[in-house]
Structure 1
Amino acid sequence: MSANDHAPTQLPVITAKGDLDADTLPSLDAELRAAVTTASGVILDISDVTFGDSGFINLLLRTHQDTELRVVGLGPPLDRLFRIVGVDTILHIFPTVTHAQGARQ
Structure 2
Amino acid sequence: MPRPVSFAVLGEQYACSGAWVVTVRGDLDLESLAAQRTQLERTAAAVPVLVLDLSAVTFADSSFLNLLLMVRRATDLRLAGVPGQIARLLELTGADEVLRLFPTVSDALPASAPAGP
The TM-score normalised by the length of structure 2 is 0.73
Provide the aligned length of Structure 1 versus Structure 2. Answer: 98
Matching of residue 32 in structure 1 with residue 43 in structure 2: no
Query: Unpaired segments of 5 or more residues in structure 1?
Result: 1-7
Q: Deviations over 1:19-74 (max 9, x none)?
A: 10111113332332332344212111111111111110000000111211001111
Following TM superposition, the consecutive aligned residue runs of length 4 or more in structure 1 with deviations greater than 6 angstroms are none
Aligned to 1:3: none
Query: Unpaired segments of 5 or more residues in structure 2?
Result: 1-15
Higher RCO (CA-CA < 8 Å; seq separation 6+): 1
Whole-angstrom CA distance in 2 between matches of 1:66 and 1:39: 9
Aligned to 2:29: 21
Query: Of 62, 67, 73, which residue of structure 2 is paired with 1:59?
Result: 67
Q: Is the 8 A contact 1:21 1:56 kept in 2?
A: yes
Whole-angstrom CA distance in 1 between matches of 2:72 and 2:41: 11
Aligned to 2:93: 85
Q: What displacement does 1:90 show? A: 0.8
Pair member with larger Rg: 1
1:27 match: secondary structure: coil
Computed over aligned residues only, the root mean square deviation of the Cα atoms, in angstroms, reads 2.0
Select the structure that is richer in strand.
2
The TM-score normalised by the length of structure 1 is 0.81
Q: Is the 8 A contact 2:45 2:75 kept in 1?
A: no
State the AA in 1 paired with 2:101.
I
